[in-house]
Structure 1
Amino acid sequence: MPRINVIIPAYNEERSIAKVLQAIPAGFAEEVIVVNNNSSDRTAEVAAAAGATVLEEPTPGYGNACLKGIAYAAAKPATGRPDIIVFLDGDFSDYPEEMPQLVQPIVEGQAEMVIGSRALGKRAAGAMLPQQIFGNWLATSLLRLFYSARFTDLGPFRAIKLDTLLALSMRDRTYGWTVEMQAKAARQKIRYTEVPVTYRKRIGTSKVSGTVKGTVMAGYKIILTIFKYL
């Protein structure tokens, strides 16, 4: 079985982070890394108490938190370096129990990157707001048009081989993180696939789609990122 690390960017997820960590299948991951992204609540304390390794990334930004976690995993000695990185959110909207299905195509050598698709899976009523659904449709349509990439979602629940991830040379520090990974994977002819995942209403309010400003900024950044890597 390959060595797996889980990276969870977390900003003010005190109410949900323990539930996320407890739902990760026992023995699945060698290390679970919660990157506390400038939270003003007890996210870090709760995550540490639940058994996670907690890193601090004081500069706000989803991409900043992901980059912090990647740097930590990549810096490990060869004997402890993970083969696969799994990303998921800390708001308990994803189902950590589905991680084995998510990584299966990589374990079986069928893919180097797997996106957990909420569009192909089951979504609880109201789990994704209308602007999220439209944004995903628009972004994946542009990826198909300009990159010939057949994605159905930009979902944060995803798995990728560490060596492949490092070769993508990720740069985005905010809202464009997920689409940057997919655009670069398509451009570099990385073998990828999608698996259906289940999605429920998150605990708390989304920092992105839950506000007008967040929605507009995220949409702008995602579209800008798609054209940036053409």
Structure 2
Amino acid sequence: MTIEVILPCLDEASALPWVLGRMPDGYRPIVVDNGSTDGSAEIAASLGACVVEEPRRGFGAACHAGLLAATADVVCLMDADASLDPRQLPRVTAPVLAGWSDLVLGRRRPRERGAWPPHARLGNAVLARDLRRRTGAAVHDLGPMRACRRDALTGLGLTDRRFGYPLEMVLRAAASGWRISEVDVDYLRRDGRSKVTGTVRGTLRAVADMRRVMAARDTPPDPA
């Protein structure tokens, strides 16, 4: 059985050899190049990955393009920056394959100093708390390593194409009655500087996107 791993990518040339080199047997990487200028797409292709081009900038846009390119029954999503170890993907997929869970999130456990800056960790904790209150799901981390069935994910009809995509996935999954669970995964110091968690500004932008998604879910439909 092949499991496909969607890897949104923006200028991750230095991280990709490590990430793709640690992909477990039976896991097929789909690298979605989101406008890289450092040769990321060429490096990914040379290492045997399926490369999809998505010129429209945005984390959600890249994830959606990868999902459309995928054909496997089970898909994973994870960052391509070497902050997560692909060898731990089987931990995340196991509950889905066994039929115990519909959506599994990798709950990040920092293993290196500086892996998770305080501002980013705080923003994640606040959003996770809000998600627990809204959905009842025992979610403590909007972890970027996750797994589910491809057809089911497509059926959720996710519309966000920015940083609200991961949160919208959990909101819609919970609303659809999905069984959502977490497993611990190591969180490492990423290669290079994060476009999101590397700065307070980037984190605030991501939080704002996610708040916007929550607000949209709270807005009642127009009776007209």
**TM-score, normalising length from structure 2?**
0.93
- AA aligned to 1:52 is A
In 2, Cα distance between the equivalents of 1:192 and 1:47?
Answer: 31
Q: Secondary structure at the match of 1:91?
A: coil
- Are 1:115 and 2:112 an aligned pair? no
Q: 1:206 maps to which residue?
A: 194
Q: 1:47 maps to which residue?
A: 44
- Are 1:35 and 2:32 an aligned pair? yes
In 2, Cα distance between the equivalents of 1:138 and 1:53?
Answer: 35
Q: 1:90 maps to which residue?
A: 80
| Alpha-carbon RMSD | 1.2
Match of 1:58 among 55, 58, 64: 55
Number of aligned residue pairs: give it: 218
Q: Is the 8 A contact 2:160 2:168 kept in 1?
A: yes
Could you tell me which runs of 5 or more consecutive residues in structure 1 were left unpaired when the two chains were aligned.
74-80
Q: Secondary structure at the match of 1:229?
A: helix
> Per-residue CA shift, 1:8-35, capped at 9, x if unaligned?
000000100111000111x222x31100
In 2, Cα distance between the equivalents of 1:48 and 1:24?
Answer: 14
- AA aligned to 1:174 is R
In 2, Cα distance between the equivalents of 1:138 and 1:13?
Answer: 28
- 1:155-166 equivalences under 5 Å are 155-166=143-154
In 1, Cα distance between the equivalents of 2:111 and 2:210?
Answer: 22
Q: 1:6 maps to which residue?
A: 5
> Per-residue CA shift, 1:141-181, capped at 9, x if unaligned?
11112222210101111111112101211111111011111
In 2, Cα distance between the equivalents of 1:194 and 1:139?
Answer: 16
Deviation at 1:122, TM superposition (A): 4.5
In 2, Cα distance between the equivalents of 1:134 and 1:213?
Answer: 14
Moved over 3 A (4+): none
Q: Secondary structure at the match of 1:14?
A: coil
User: What percentage of residue pairs aligned between the two structures are identical?
Assistant: 38
